[in-house]
């Protein structure tokens, strides 16, 4: 391709949007064409993301009307959606309608939860409101790129960060018949997982030197994990307890289960390693992974241990990259027939 492929970011002031921009800055075949924000329209992108001033110093946020115009004119051909769940679906639907009316092909990867469920009734049960455009759900696939081959739909709803950390650990074991279909998961996330809007859970005096569980066994990601695990492998039950940790970025998930047949640590490690042998980003290691091994990168690290009938898988990812913007970029690369690791080869800083 002689010219970069033009991409827009919808909902452009949050942490995930900032990661989309950071990754686009290093992508050899994608280029930022527009970034929208109703609250910051007309203002410099660098005022919201000073770390990106050296790359996007001249860029300014547009409003949604400006983004629609860019789609209509063909100046935007792909879209990363970083809008909140509940707000994303209607905005994406409007932009797809504009594209269709203008004869423009628009490829969408959504990082919100609005296109992860196949059944609009399931979405409504989890999120407490009807889906804005249920007729669009069939146009979106939802899975980790490591678990679904090819380009199964025109668009993708990327799984969330907690969901990613858990699915990476359980899907290969379910596929191999090594695990009983019931898991007990404790996963700890950094404060960026709560988003940019200030709240009690992200207030520094509460979060610093502290760790606490929230929504134990009732969190909205549990049904997402169960649905996507069933689609990728087989139905299972997941007992999920999320925790807030005293760091900014990264998730560590500890996944307990029972063996379906006698096996040792080496057997489970080999099953995980075989499942991700072709993956650019998932590594199976001998010792428990650490968040600083992966923070700032699109990499994931897994390890496993077995004792008797019990096993535990430990999973570490960056919630903003592998769990959001990076995983979404993997999908867009594939949908546009670029190398899946394009723009995602950067290592993490380690000492964050």
Catalytic residue set: 161
Instruction: Map tokens 């063996």 to a residue.
Output: 259
Closest CA to 289 of 255, 238, 340: 255
- Whether 184 and 313 have beta carbons less than 8 Å apart is answered as no
Per DSSP bridges, beta strands 107-110 and 140-141 are: unpaired
- Residue 128 has a CB neighbour count (10 Å cut-off) of 9
- Whether 101 and 73 have beta carbons less than 8 Å apart is answered as no
Secondary structure (H, E, C), the chain: CCCCEEEEEECCCCHHHHHHHHHHHCCCCEEEEEEECCCCCCCEHHHHCHHHHHHHCCCECECHHHHHHHHHCCCCCEEEECCCCCCHHHHHHHHHHHHHHHCCCCEEEECCCCCCCCCHHHHHHHHCCCCCCHHHHHHEECCCCCCCCCCCCCEEECCCHHHHHHHHHHHHHHHCCCEEEEEEEEEEECHHHHCCCCCHHHCHHHHCCCCEECCCCCCCHHHHHHHHHHHHCCCCEEEEEEEECCCCCCEEEEEEEEECCCCCHHHHHHHHHHHCCCCCCEEECCCCCCHHHCCCCCCEEEEEEEECCEEEEEEEECCCHHHHHHHHHHHHHHHCCCCCCCCCCCCCCCCC
């Amino acid at each position: 391709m002689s010219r970069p492929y033009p991409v827009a970011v919808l909902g452009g002031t949050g942490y995930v949007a900032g990661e989309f921009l950071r990754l686009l800055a290093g992508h050899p075949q994608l280029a930022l064409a527009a970034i929208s924000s109703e609250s910051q329209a007309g203002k410099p992108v660098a005022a919201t993301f000073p770390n990106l001033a050296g790359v996007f110093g001249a860029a300014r946020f547009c409003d949604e009307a400006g983004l629609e115009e860019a789609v209509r004119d063909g100046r935007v051909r792909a879209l990363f959606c970083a809008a909140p769940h509940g707000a994303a679906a209607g905005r994406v639907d409007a932009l797809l309608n504009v594209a269709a009316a203008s004869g423009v092909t628009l490829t969408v990867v959504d990082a919100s939860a609005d296109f992860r469920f196949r059944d609009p009734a399931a979405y409504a049960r989890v999120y407490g409101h009807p889906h804005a455009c249920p007729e669009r759900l069939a146009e979106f696939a939802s899975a980790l790129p490591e678990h679904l081959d090819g380009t199964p739909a025109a668009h993708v709803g990327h799984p969330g960060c907690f969901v990613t950390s858990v699915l990476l650990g359980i899907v290969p074991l379910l596929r191999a018949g090594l695990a009983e279909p019931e898991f007990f998961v404790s996963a700890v996330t950094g404060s960026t997982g709560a988003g940019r809007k200030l709240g009690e859970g992200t207030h520094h005096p509460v979060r610093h030197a502290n760790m606490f569980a929230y929504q134990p066994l009732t969190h909205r990601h549990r049904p997402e994990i169960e649905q996507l695990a069933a689609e990728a492998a087989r139905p299972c039950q997941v007992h999920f307890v999320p925790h807030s940790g005293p760091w900014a970025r990264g998730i560590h998930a500890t996944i307990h289960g029972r063996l379906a047949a006698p096996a040792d640590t080496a057997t489970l490690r080999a099953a995980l390693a075989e499942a991700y042998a072709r993956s650019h980003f998932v590594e199976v290691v001998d010792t428990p992974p650490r968040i600083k091994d992966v923070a700032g990168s699109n990499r994931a690290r897994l390890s496993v241990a077995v004792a008797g009938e019990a096993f535990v898988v430990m999973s570490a990812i960056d919630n903003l990259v592998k769990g959001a913007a990076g995983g979404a970029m993997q999908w867009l690369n594939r949908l546009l027939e670029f190398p899946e690791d394009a723009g995602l080869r950067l290592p993490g800083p380690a000492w964050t």
